Amino acid sequence: MAKRPPIGNRIRELREQHDNMSQAALAEAIGVTRQTVIAIEQGRYSPSLESAFRISRVFGVGLEDVFSWLEPRDS
């Protein structure tokens, strides 16, 4: 399986806070497909910096309110 990027996000939570914005609506707002929004939400794809900024602007928050760096867990 492809290695997941160490980046977490709050996109689902932010969509719910914005009148339950659909994944399709967010996808259209930032100019990607719904499947790409799903992949970003699930952490299977790290968006480009441009798309990351577009997402944060749609929600009216800063980049780090949407995305966060996940520190590797000690095992």
Name the site residues for another protein (rule: CB under 8 A). 1-2, 4, 31-36, 39, 44-45, 47-48, 51
Angle between helices 23-30 and 34-41 (to 10 degrees): 110
How far apart CA 37 and CA 73 sit, in angstroms, is 26
* Shortest distance, position 70 Cβ to another protein, whole Å: 15
Residue among 3 and 74 whose Cβ is closer to another protein: 3
Residue among 34 and 57 whose Cβ is closer to another protein: 34
* Shortest distance, position 63 Cβ to another protein, whole Å: 17
**Residue listed under structure tokens 């980049």:** 63
> Which amino acid makes up residue 48?
S
Residue 4, token pair as written in the block: 């997941």
* Shortest distance, position 39 Cβ to another protein, whole Å: 6
